Amino acid sequence: MVYFLSNLVNGITLGSVYAMIALGYSMVYGIAKMLNFAHGDVIMVGAYVCFCAVQYWNLPPAAAVLVSMIVSTLLGVLIEGLAYRPLRQATSLAVLITAIGVSYLLQNLALLIWGATPVIFSSVVPDFKVRLLGGDLIITSAAIFTVLAAVAVMIALTLFVSRSRTGKAMRAVSEDRGAAELMGISVNRTISVTFAIGSALAAVAGVLLCSTYPTLTPTTGSLPGIKAFTAAVFGGIGSIPGAMLGGLLLGLIEIFGRSYISSELGDAIVFAVLIIVLLVRPTGLLGKPIREKV
């Protein structure tokens, strides 16, 4: 029983990280209709900036996280403006290749700046443990903060998109970019804001990921980024609740798959479940089918 509950906590914690990253994927795809595969590497940059802010600049953890979010936000806007905006009318393949190129560029720049040697990331959350079931079940502070942060971000994003003026502009651009421009909405500004929000979330996700799994390298964000994209597709890409649900389910499937089936086939199990879900429901669990008028 304790083993099961421990895996459940670990799965929810990992799934919350995937969910936060998937929220950035879903927002960008839902509004700009493009897949930003460099998103995972923004996670890595955010984690490195936070690490430097704490280790070398002696900033308190809260300030270090804020600096990380600011740098990641500026990086996201820069990537969108220089790499993706000129390809706004290009084919999906051209955008995809560009995204992969940006991803490798960020990884190699990180390699030049910080080197290939892994660094040990110090957790930025207060260090305490909650002991349940007579002390047999231990929940770390990193796990608690990660889950609470993911839930808070999902609620805040949902309210922002549904009620704020910028959020309504995002929905309008997502629905019909041409009509939104005719109504006086700046498409470029709206998409830049979307990238900014997604990149800020990536920084938070990177910090929480490295607080739970403290090894940081230039490729730290690659696999979590791919899995978070999988989570976004799983839940229904473009849907904020879908990204949250997909991330949580993916984390649970991965942890339970490694624990009860095979530790070596954990990733394969995750992608196998995704394939099965998409065969049954191509739009994902909470995705809505898109109807195109002819």
pLDDT tens-place string over residues 152-174:
998 998 899 888 898 889 888 88
Q: Is the pLDDT of residue 32 over 70?
A: yes
| pLDDT for the residue 203 | 92
Q: What are phi and psi of 122, to 5 degrees?
A: -85, 130
Q: What are phi and psi of 138, to 5 degrees?
A: -115, 125
Q: What number is the average pLDDT over the span 258-281? A: 82
| pLDDT for the residue 238 | 78
| pLDDT for the residue 114 | 92
| pTM of structure | 0.89
pLDDT band with cut points at 50, 70 and 90 for residue 34: confident
| pLDDT for the residue 294 | 47
> Average pLDDT over the chain, rounded to whole?
87
Alpha carbons 175 and 226: distance in angstroms, whole number: 26
Alpha carbons 239 and 258: distance in angstroms, whole number: 28
pLDDT band with cut points at 50, 70 and 90 for residue 288: low
How deeply is 122 buried, as exposed, middle or buried, from its count of CB atoms within 10 A (0-12, 13-18, 19+)? middle
User: For residue 61, what are its two tokens?
Assistant: 């953890």
pLDDT band with cut points at 50, 70 and 90 for residue 291: low
| pLDDT for the residue 259 | 87
CB atoms within 10 A of CB 207: 28
User: For residue 140, what are its two tokens?
Assistant: 């770390």
The type of residue at 207 is: V
Helix (H) or strand (E) holding 215: strand 215-216
Residue 46: name the closest of 216, 239, 175 by CA. Answer: 216
Q: What number is the average pLDDT over the span 210-230? A: 88
The answer to whether 81 and 191 have CB atoms below 8 angstroms apart is no
Q: Is 80 helix (H, G, I), strand (E, B) or coil?
A: helix
Q: What are phi and psi of 132, to 5 degrees?
A: -125, 165
